[in-house]
Amino acid sequence: MITLSVIKADTGGWVGHTALHPEMIATAERAIEAARGDLLIDGQVSGCGDDLALIMTHRHGAVAKPIHGFAWDVFQATTVVARDLGLYGAGQDLLSDAFSGNLRGMGPGYAELTFEERPSEPILVFLADKTEPGAWNLPLYRIFADPFNTPGLVIDPKMHAGFRFEVLDLRAERAIEIDTPAGLHDLLLFIGAPSRYVIRSVRSLALGSVAAVTSTQRLSLIAGRYVGKDDPVMVVRCQSGLPAVGEVLEPFAFPHAVAGCMRGSHHAPLMPVAVSDAHPSRFDGPPRVVALGYQVKGGRLGQARDMFADPSFDRARGMANEVMDYLRRHGPFEPHRLPMEEMEYTTLPAVGERLASRWTPIDDTGATDAAAPQSSRG
Ligand code: F6R
Ligand code: MG
Ligand code: MG
């Protein structure tokens, strides 16, 4: 069995929250290089926007102290680089001062998948910036439960039986498993509310194997305040009884609206981009997603393919730009701005608090002329 761990954190942005500085990437690459063949079978450094991702294969299993500890040390090192260069938000996602065995509740996000490697093991690693873990709900539903996206659900006997979705309720801290197609409507009941319900994993009912995992932490729920969006990652295994690579990428041809973008407070379209375009600058957005393709062999990752560097996603990018124009014209109004309940962890409630004493009971006696207010008397 090998484990693929994708562990990410925002430890500083160049410039503002838009990108990673090359020196941060170089620092992480040196650490991975030193660990390869020892702690790790293989490892690579990648990123999306201002989030650095460590993509690692190893034999320590999921949530393993040596691997999480290694990632924590790398993020400490990139934080030092960020501080030295005066990068923005240095150490932003490292919510704790001391490492305590694993990264749960510490700030960095992780998606880990332990599996028996098949003779050919195509795997897609998705990295997103300026959004939250629930952003994967819609594509995961379409990949594993929607025959209009995934013909394999109808055609492939191994996929016909369906998939088991594990859904977390991030507010009540509980989990539920729902099988599709039987539980399709139950599944949608929850995952249609992606700020609270997040798909953590998907498993093949016929094969028993894990097909997809996501990172699920919500920084605001951990810290009780706004600490940036969670900028989630996802790993999906493909082919041979699991959805084909093209079926896994297909949902991203529709740039669905996600929460995130400017001040983590707006709905905006998720734009699929090549790694070289994963630098959200307009209105700290629009949110981006990149897909790295691997043919894992003997635990080695091999060269990553940049899956959205493909003109067939141009229209999704064009649509994302159009939707962004449309939403931006709402300015500070919903549904561009997130609903009040979701703004709870931003600085907005503190501003509203300043007006608390000016609220009065509603006066039902009608609007009557009064003396001109003080300010307009000249
Ligand atoms: C979005 C994000 C940015 C910041 C914004 C303000 O996830 O992180 O949009 O919220 O740039 O940042 P501060 O308050 O640090 O100036
Ligand atoms: Mg940032
Ligand atoms: Mg980010």
CB 163 within 8 A of CB 203: yes
**How would you class 183 by CB atoms within 10 Å of its CB: exposed for 0-12, middle for 13-18, buried for 19 or more?**
middle
| Number of the ligand closest to the Cα of 228 | 1
Q: Mind telling me the catalytic residues?
A: 10, 226, 229
Q: What is the model's pLDDT at position 378?
A: 43
pLDDT digits (tens, 9 = 90+) for 223-239: 777 676 689 999 999 99
d(CA 374, CA 264): 39
pLDDT digits (tens, 9 = 90+) for 186-229: 999 999 999 999 999 999 999 999 999 999 977 777 777 767 66
What residues contact residue 211 under an 8 Å CB cut-off, 6+ apart?
144, 163, 202, 203, 204, 236, 237, 242, 243
d(CA 198, CA 213): 11
Nearest atom, ligand 1, residue 261 CA: 1
Q: What is the model's pLDDT at position 263?
A: 94
pLDDT digits (tens, 9 = 90+) for 57-107: 999 999 999 999 999 999 999 999 999 999 999 999 998 888 989 999 899
Q: Please tell me the distance between residue 121's alpha carbon and the centre of ligand 3 in angstroms.
A: 29
Per-residue DSSP letter, 94:
-
CB 164 within 8 A of CB 177: yes
pLDDT above 70 (res 377): no
Q: What is the model's pLDDT at position 10?
A: 97
pLDDT digits (tens, 9 = 90+) for 10-38: 999 999 999 999 999 999 999 999 999 99
Dihedral of CA atoms 92, 97, 101, 106 in degrees, nearest 10, equals: -30
Complete DSSP assignment for 114-154: EEPPPSSEEEEEEEEESB-GGGGHHHHHHHHH-TTT-THHH
pLDDT above 70 (res 376): no
Nearest atom, ligand 1, residue 13 CA: 8
Atom 3 in ligand 1: residue holding the nearest Cα? 263
pLDDT above 70 (res 289): yes
Q: Please tell me the distance between residue 123's alpha carbon and the centre of ligand 3 in angstroms.
A: 23
